[in-house]
Amino acid sequence: MSLETMQKMLRKAMSQRYAVGAFNIVDYNSARAVVRTAEELRSPVIIQTSVKTVKFWSPETIVTWVKELAVDSPVPVALHLDHCKDLDCIRQCIDAGWTSVMIDASAKPFEENLLMTRQVLEMAEPAGVSVEAEMGQIVGVEDDIFVSEHDAHLAKPDEAVRFCEGLNLAAFAPAIGTAHGVYKGEPKIDYDSIEEISKRTGIPIALHGGTGLADEVFRKAISLGCAKVNISTAIKYAFIDGFVDYHLENKKYEPLKPLEAQYTRICELVAGNIRLFGSEGKADL
Ligand SMILES: [Zn+2]
């Protein structure tokens, strides 16, 4: 299968009440772990990259890896650009071969956010690329976007509906109480808003800040309309701990061994998430 867009994947997920995992990869090894695990479980999967990762490697390099992994894959794989504020970077990724992009203009006032989201849709649609947009501000630190908990505000359903009206979004990320990074306390998830926004917009909801949420939180959010779950921080931990733990235990300078341990650690994490989100066996679009 070649790379797929998120649109089809997420519509099916929403209608059948499961979610597709969107995993932030940082290199070929992590991308390989995510795709191979999805194949083992016959699950659709979204490979996500942060803007930092795109700048580190170059868009063309990342597309080469992911296309190589997806081309003979029996499962649909989407390549998605996570939180991007910069239209030039979005343009570069669309041109390079990303199948999906997220415009994050959520720090701007409502009308400006809407305008930028429209501009991105105008760029993406002719290329057959799907779009995710954000409204309200999701707390935490990611990609140098820092939103203090004090400043954060949740998305109000009426505004969310007004925002989404007439926009052909593949996914919508309203701030509903989750946070990026590691949770300091029990997050207060606004389930009523998830349900109302999902019902009134009909757009699959993207759940950001998936690392560290309890299993019941995922299940409930998915049952109410979340069809995409982002896993970033947990992958960072598996990536580094998988490598370092192996080295500390073995102290042998054979790089392929800790890389293999890192790969296995990421596979275990991804498999657990795919099962929890209910996308196992849902590879057919
Ligand atoms: Zn996010």
For the residues 3-19, what does the mean pLDDT come to?
96
Q: What pLDDT, in 10s, does the model give residues 221-273?
A: 999 999 999 999 999 999 999 999 999 999 999 999 999 999 999 999 999 99
Catalytic residue status for 82:
yes
Structure tokens at 200: 């009134």
Beta carbons within 8 Å of 21's beta carbon, 6+ residues apart: 43, 45, 46, 229, 231, 270, 273, 274, 277, 279
Calculate the dihedral angle through the C-alpha atoms of 166, 153, 178, 120, rounding to the nearest 10 degrees: 30
Catalytic residue among 27, 72, 82, 86: 82
Ligand 1 midpoint to CA 67 (Å): 24
As residues whose CB is below 5 A from the ion ligand 1, the structure lists: 208
Per-residue pLDDT, 285: 81
pLDDT score of 142 more than 60: no
Work out the mean pLDDT of the chain and round it to a whole number.
Answer: 93
Ligand 1 midpoint to CA 2 (Å): 26
Ligand 1 midpoint to CA 285 (Å): 25
Ligand 1 midpoint to CA 251 (Å): 36
Ligand 1 midpoint to CA 65 (Å): 23
Per-residue pLDDT, 150: 44
Q: What pLDDT, in 10s, does the model give residues 204-223?
A: 999 998 888 999 999 999 99
At residue 139 the predicted structure's pLDDT band, cuts being 50, 70 and 90, is confident
Q: Where are the beta strands (DSSP E) in the chain?
A: 3-4, 20-24, 45-49, 77-84, 100-103, 130-135, 140-142, 145-147, 171-174, 205-207, 226-231
Q: What pLDDT, in 10s, does the model give residues 93-136?
A: 999 999 999 999 999 999 999 999 999 999 999 999 999 999 98
Per-residue pLDDT, 243: 98
pLDDT score of 194 more than 60: yes
